[in-house]
Chains A and B, each alone.
Chain A
Amino acid sequence: MTALTLYDKVWQQHVVREEKDGTALLYIDRHLVHEVTSPQAFEGLQINQRDLWRKSSILAVPDHNVPTTDREQGISDPVARLQVETLDQNCANHAITEFKMDDRRQGIVHVIGPEQGATLPGMTVVCGDSHTSTHGAFAALAFGIGTSEVEHVMATQCLLQKKSKNMRITIEGPVEAGVTAKDIVLAIIGEIGTAGGTGFAIEFAGEAIQNLSMEGRMTVCNMTIEAGARAGMIACDQTTIDYIKGRPYAPQGDLWDKAVDHWHTLHSDESAVFDREIVIQGAEIQPQVTWGTSPEMVIPVTASVPDPAEESDQVKADGMQKALDYMGLKPNTPLDEVFVDKVFIGSCTNSRVEDLRAAAAVAKGRKVADNVRQALVVPGSGLVKEAAEEEGLDKIFIEAGFEWREPGCSMCLAMNADRLEPGERCASTSNRNFEGRQGQGGRTHLVSPAMAAAAAVFGHFTDVRKI
């Protein structure tokens, strides 16, 4: 038998049929749904009088638009409210499981899937959201889809897909203390670029990846899309299995044992061949900070803002200049002299309890710096919030001057009231530093939770390894 990659295995297990040109009809196990990309899909079903193929595959939650304060008051923005109500209505009409805004299990769609055990190894997982790649941490084939595809999955339980090529990124050896999953993935994107993974499914491997908790693995897979690949995956091991055991949607008893037997096969065969292999030394990865308007514009915290004058490729130099102008940065400024106005700790990249712990460890006994106007901590879900409060993390943050909020996407994309004002600079644990992402004219620097907390208490970027 030919040796297969993890991606090959999960792919093959889900192919229903194949066209001559290789377009496959791929079976979908789990469909996560949120308010922004689903209304037009439900409408499409209705117009064509089509039913849902397998309702039990769907888990729905409002997250992008929900307010992170005064939940009892409801949503004040009427347009956003209509969108959330539309989701509620659609789920009620079709008898779909939904964690509504006032449910303690509500949260960011990519946080609650794994938290509930609704994401399992070997599954195909889709959602109308590009960060669906997060779920690949569970050796699942998980990727974001558009609204037409959301409708397609609802009606047929399948998707039309072309197989991607295989890429493996190996992080050899361990990383230094203070270097997190976020730094690993930012360093990877810095290395291969935001289009480096286009057309590939990426498997992350190596000691530094194996050493990560499930939370950390989710952070890495989450940002696969920022490296251009729709799907990122990590082999199933004991860490994966331990995380899933006992969760509400996880199998039990005999079925659990059968499932675990299968899950143990979910890794690339020893002699599997990848179309592209990249090896990075863990020891060389340092805490990362983005300086520009694309996640590939990233440097170690110890470095200075790059100079377009030193770039020989004219198109690239122009791009760098545009980014620097937008970010209001001068070339050659050391990062620890860059002061921030706001800090955001949250998003599907970094809002799990481990992330909050890392940030709280830095915040503990310190105060948010005077130049920082607002420092937000937004847990990824209601359950993450409860767990953090049990450990007293909320108190640490509040004493230090952070705001402790209700779960949701919040300032990751600023669809609700949480946003940057024009020109404001933010240290953010989210995943995109695009122009206007966190508010029109806002300037985003992507960092790890510990680095964000450090920026909050020192007022500027600071190497967490030195504090």
Chain B
Amino acid sequence: MEKFEKFTGIVAPMDRANIDTDAIIPKQYLKSIKRSGFGPNLFDDWRYLDPGAPGIDDRDRRVNPEFVLNVTPYDQGQILLARENFGCGSSREHAVWALTDFGFKVVIAPSFADIFYNNSFKNGLLPIVLDADIVDQLFKEVQVEQDYQLSIDLDQQVVTNADGVQMYFEIDDFRKYCLLNGLDDIGLTLQHADEIKLFEQQYYQNSPWLQ
């Protein structure tokens, strides 16, 4: 995984609550056995006017000119701004893969669904929780200013707008550490392999029916 560096990026607003994983990446694309290539089908049902399926060339499809990610400069967006309960629905990591494949590095929302939130960190996507009032304010600012950008500093845990206003966000130390250093969870856990084995010994002694 790449290290998560400080950056300033374009904010794409999606003014909806409860954006679910079926909307983020429709199920017909889940048949892939790869991790990449989901970007063109991010928000597929909203993004195109014709139905899509694996094998159909997306360049031949009519795009919905009103959908935010089809509008410049949001098609270059790196930060997605949304409302409550972003990423609800299934556990499919394909939703995160589609967002990162498109170019998003950050999603800002007042709340996230648990599994989506977890999956994000495994793929270098930073989900940032900000108060509903602040998110509301950000939506207002995006509306006024076409080329609206925000700066993200994970180390300091702040989002900064062009006027220098800083918004602090919370994140677990461990997740922050892994993201900043681009660490692979599995490698980290395997450093504790002996501890796991020791645990197992005791565990199966206590619960022999599970062995």
Contacts and interface: CB of A to CB of B under 8 A. Distances in A.
A and B associate in one complex: yes
Interface of A: 13, 16-17, 19-23, 25, 27, 29, 36-37, 39-40, 43, 48, 50, 53, 64-65, 77, 79-80, 82-83, 86, 120, 122-123, 128-130, 132, 143-149, 151-152, 155-158, 160, 162, 164, 194-195, 198-199, 228-230, 251, 255-256, 258-259, 262, 294, 315, 319, 322, 413-415, 432, 434-437, 440
Nearest to A83: B31
A147 B20 CA distance: 17
Given A151-B186, A435-B22, 18 more contacts: A13-B203, A17-B195, A25-B196, A82-B33, A83-B33, A130-B91, A146-B92, A146-B118, A148-B185, A156-B189, A158-B196, A160-B185, A198-B111, A228-B114, A294-B18, A415-B28, A436-B22, A440-B45
Contacts of A132: 91
Given A80-B31, A434-B20, A21 B91 contact: no
Contact of B119 (A50, A77, A148, A437): A148
B33 A199 contact: no
A440 B51 contact: yes
Contacts of B145: none
Nearest to A322: B16
Interface in B5-41: 16-18, 20, 22-23, 26-28, 30-35
Contacts of B192: 16-17, 25
A414 B28 CA distance: 8
Nearest to A144: B91
B91 A16 contact: no
19 contacts: A19-B174, A25-B195, A27-B196, A27-B203, A36-B30, A36-B31, A39-B33, A43-B35, A130-B115, A132-B91, A145-B118, A147-B92, A157-B196, A162-B172, A195-B84, A195-B113, A230-B114, A434-B20, A436-B23
A251 B31 CA distance: 36
B208 A147 contact: no
B185 A152 contact: yes
A16 B123 CA distance: 25
Choose among B91, B172, B173 the residue with the greatest number of A CB atoms under 10 Å from its CB: B91
A51 B173 CA distance: 29
Nearest to B207: A262
Contacts of A413: 22, 27
Given A129-B91, A156-B196, A158-B196, A435 B27 contact: no
A251 B209 contact: yes
Contacts of B122: 146, 148-149
Contacts of A143: 115
Contacts of B112: 198
- Give the secondary structure class of A's interface: loop
Contacts of B123: 148
Contacts of A194: 18, 85, 88
A195 B35 CA distance: 28
A123 B207 CA distance: 10
A122 B208 CA distance: 13
A198 to B, nearest CB: 6
A39 B98 CA distance: 17
A258 B91 contact: no
B196 A435 contact: no
Interface of B: 16-18, 20, 22-23, 26-28, 30-35, 45, 51, 54-55, 83-85, 88-93, 96, 111-115, 118-119, 122-123, 172-175, 185-186, 189-190, 192-193, 195-196, 199-200, 203, 207-210
Nearest to B36: A40
Contacts of A162: 172
A82 B96 CA distance: 23
Contacts of B186: 48, 50, 151-152, 155-156
B89 A156 contact: no
A77 B96 CA distance: 25
B199 to A, nearest CB: 5
A146 B189 contact: no
Given A48-B186, A151-B186, A255 B91 contact: no
A147 B98 CA distance: 14
Nearest to B173: A21
A149 B96 CA distance: 13
List 8 tightest A-B contacts by C-beta distance, closest first.
A148-B122, A251-B209, A146-B119, A39-B33, A146-B93, A144-B91, A255-B209, A195-B85
A258 B208 contact: yes
B33 A432 contact: no
Contacts of B96: 146
A25 B174 CA distance: 12
B56 to A, nearest CB: 12
Contacts of B84: 195
B208 to A, nearest CB: 6
A116 to B, nearest CB: 15
Given A25-B196, A156-B196, A256-B209, A198 B85 contact: yes
A147 B93 contact: yes
A120 B210 CA distance: 9
A21 B170 CA distance: 13
A323 to B, nearest CB: 10
B92 A36 contact: yes
Contacts of A39: 33-34
Nearest to B174: A23
A198 B113 contact: yes
A434 B23 contact: yes
Nearest to A197: B114
A426 to B, nearest CB: 15
